[in-house]
Amino acid sequence: MDANASVTELVDALLASAPKLDDRGQQLAKTIYQRLAEGDPIPESTLAEGTALPVDYVTATLASWPGLRRDDMARIIAFWGLSLPDTAHTLEVNGVRLHAWCAWDTLFLPGILHASAEVRSLDPQTEEAVELIVTPHGVTGCSHADITVSFLIPDGTPDQDVTTTFCQYVHFFAAPAHGTQWTSTCDGTFLLDLDTAFEVGARWNRARGFI
């Protein structure tokens, strides 16, 4: 697969690199997203009650999922792209300041959360602020006319740390020329326009059972 991969091929590659979810897994994942978006760490002990799932199932499933971060009290503070600790990508949802692991996360998280997000990131090539309004249905406002998103095709290994193998390569750029300069120095990366990157996220959400 190369940088000219179709949206379908990109989604398929992303799915191959993520843990498989059954109905209970989808329910648990969506609950974690919704709870985390309230802005507070999540004690694992509250998830079984909140989802009506067996305690043993919740404990075993969370232990098996990569991409889940906890604080020193073992509470969940980051999960599959949504983070309470600061990152370079911020999104404000329902008045709560949240963070994302990469630019693309800010495009699919509003769909999962059923809410609009005010997004702010930095163009890594110029340090210029890039701002967006992202709804569950699309991008309705942006600070620059031709924002692009750097992307990388995942390698199909679900248990890897996506923050180092994928997320650190996925950024917003205020202009295509900035993105072209940056991707020329990072092997395997390429640019998507904003609408395409959003569509990849929307199809990802549907395929994962998140919407």
pLDDT at 157: 73
Tell me which CATH code domain 23-79 carries: 1.10.10
What is d(CA 183, CA 81) in angstroms, rounded to the nearest whole number? 22
pTM (two decimals): 0.95
What is d(CA 153, CA 142) in angstroms, rounded to the nearest whole number? 25
Q: pLDDT tens digits, the chain, 211 residues: what are they?
A: 345 679 999 999 999 999 999 999 999 999 999 999 999 999 999 999 889 999 999 999 999 999 999 999 999 999 999 999 999 999 999 999 999 999 999 999 999 999 999 999 999 999 999 999 999 999 999 999 999 999 999 877 776 788 889 999 999 999 999 999 999 999 999 999 999 999 999 999 999 999 9
What is d(CA 172, CA 200) in angstroms, rounded to the nearest whole number? 15
Predicted confidence (pLDDT) per residue in 102-117, tens digit? 999 999 999 999 999 9
CATH topology of domain 7-18+82-208: Beta-Lactamase (3.30.450)
Residues in CB range of 90: below 8 A, 6 or more apart: 97, 98, 99, 100, 119, 120, 121
Per domain, the residue ranges of the chain are 7-18+82-208, 23-79
156 in Cβ contact with 20 (< 8 Å):
no
**H/E element, 23:** helix 23-36
Residues in CB range of 22: below 8 A, 6 or more apart: none
Residue showing tokens 């005010």: 118
Query: In the 8-state DSSP scheme, what is residue 86?
Result: -
Helices 7-16 and 194-208, axial angle in degrees (round to 10): 50
Predicted confidence (pLDDT) per residue in 52-92, tens digit? 999 999 999 999 999 999 999 999 999 999 999 999 999 99
Q: How many CB atoms lie within 10 A of CB 156?
A: 13
If we measure between CA atoms, which residue out of 102, 152, 146, 95 comes closest to residue 118?
A: 95
State the chain's maximal CA–CA distance in angstroms. Answer: 51
pLDDT at 1: 39
The answer to whether the Cα torsion of 204, 1, 82, 120 is positive or negative is: negative
If we measure between CA atoms, which residue out of 107, 161, 155 comes closest to residue 135?
A: 107
The answer to whether the Cα torsion of 138, 204, 65, 60 is positive or negative is: positive
